[in-house]
């Protein structure tokens, strides 16, 4: 049957997911994609979650995912960047002469940040062993926590010459916090933390005001 003259060129070809990519720019769509990816990765794991399922949950065409995130791995990298900052104002939690109390307040702040994004934290600790981007992000955060603890200890120690090893104490406590956060997704509670803080604080305070021992040459 011959086409009517007015029909030629007027027909629209069926819409595809790739057509949806032609006019991106909806930032809310990108956020929906990330939200859906975070939920599904946490529920089923990164490798077991196809992008088609992410698109379905985000209610976007699959092609839009590949517009914003060229590789599936890029979704994971973007989720890492969503982690809440571990920056805590050390002056706000540190009290001179109260090392244990200052450290408890600092760790309370760090715990609150973990609890503000439990699903994301669950996902990242779960994927750290198999994805370099996640592992590197968590390693950077560990370094940040070490530095925070070190600063709080220095501000909270009693006045006087310091002969205690503040750097080692900061690393040890950061490892305790790291372990606490890594198992939080299993509902584990670290009842020993308070005792460990008290032990470290007492050891540090005993080293204040005493001359540093110098090893003989």
Tens digit of pLDDT for each residue in 141-164? Answer: 889 899 999 999 999 998 878 778
User: What per-residue confidence (pLDDT) applies to 208?
Assistant: 78
**pLDDT confidence of residue 20:** 41
Q: How confident is the model at residue 206 (pLDDT cuts 50, 70, 90)?
A: confident
Lowest mean pLDDT among 16-25, 69-78, 101-110, 130-139: 16-25
Instruction: Tell me what the pLDDT averaged over the chain comes to.
Output: 79
Residue 109 CA: distances (Å) to CA of 135, 141, 168:
23, 14, 21
Check residue 19 and give its pLDDT.
Answer: 40
Q: Which residues contact 205 (CB under 8 A, 6 or more apart)?
A: 99, 157, 158
Model pLDDT for residues 5-52, shown as the tens digit of each residue: 444 444 333 333 344 443 445 678 999 999 999 889 888 888 889 999
Q: Which of 17, 63, 57, 21 is nearest to 37 (CA)?
A: 57
- Please state the separation of Cα 64 from the chain's center in Å: 26
Residue/partner pairs of 173-180 with CB below 8 Å, 24 or more apart: 173/103, 173/149, 173/197, 173/200, 174/142, 174/145, 174/146, 174/149, 177/107, 177/110, 177/145, 177/149, 178/142, 178/145, 180/111
So what's the pLDDT on residue 113?
Answer: 79
Confidence of residue 184 (pLDDT cuts 50, 70, 90): low
- Picking from 203, 209, 212, 211, the residue whose alpha carbon sits closest to that of residue 160 is 209
Exposure of 169 by Cβ count < 10 A (0-12 exposed, 13-18 middle, 19+ buried)? buried
- The secondary structure element, H or E, covering residue 37 is helix 27-44
Average pLDDT over residues 192-215: 78
Looking at the chain, how many residues does it have?
A: 217
With beta carbons less than 8 A apart as the criterion, state whether 208 and 157 touch.
yes
How does residue 115 score in pLDDT terms, banded at 50, 70 and 90?
A: confident
Least confident window among 48-52, 87-91, 104-108: 87-91
Give me the pLDDT at residue 125, please.
75
- pTM of the prediction? 0.69
Q: What is the number of helices (H) and of strands (E) in the chain?
A: 11, 0
Q: Is the pLDDT at 126 greater than 80, yes or no? A: no
Ordered DSSP codes for 115-149: HTSHHHHHHHHHHTTT-HHHHHHHHHHHHHHHHHH
Q: Which residue has the higher pLDDT, 137 or 63?
A: 63
Q: First vs last Cα of the chain: how many Å apart?
A: 103
Mean pLDDT for 122-145 is 81
């Amino acid at each position: 049957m011959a086409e009517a003259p007015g029909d030629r060129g007027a027909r629209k070809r069926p819409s595809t997911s790739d057509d949806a990519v032609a006019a991106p720019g909806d930032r809310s769509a990108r956020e929906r994609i990330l939200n859906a990816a975070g939920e599904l990765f946490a529920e089923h794991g990164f490798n077991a979650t196809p992008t088609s399922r992410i698109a379905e949950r985000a209610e976007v065409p699959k092609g839009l995912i590949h517009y914003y995130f060229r590789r599936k791995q890029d979704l994971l990298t973007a989720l890492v960047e969503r982690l809440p900052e571990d920056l805590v104002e050390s002056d706000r939690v540190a009290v001179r002469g109260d090392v244990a109390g200052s450290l408890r307040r600092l760790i309370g702040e760090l715990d609150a940040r973990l609890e503000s994004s439990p699903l994301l934290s669950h996902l990242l600790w779960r994927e750290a062993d198999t994805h370099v981007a996640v592992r590197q992000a968590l390693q950077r955060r560990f370094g940040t926590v070490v530095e925070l603890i070190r600063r709080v200890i220095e501000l909270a120690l009693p006045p006087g010459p310091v002969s205690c090893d503040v750097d080692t104490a900061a690393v040890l406590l950061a490892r305790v916090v790291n372990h606490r956060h890594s198992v939080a997704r299993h509902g584990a509670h670290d009842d020993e933390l308070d005792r460990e803080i008290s032990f470290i604080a007492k050891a540090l305070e005993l080293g204040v005001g005493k001359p540093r021992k110098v090893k003989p040459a």
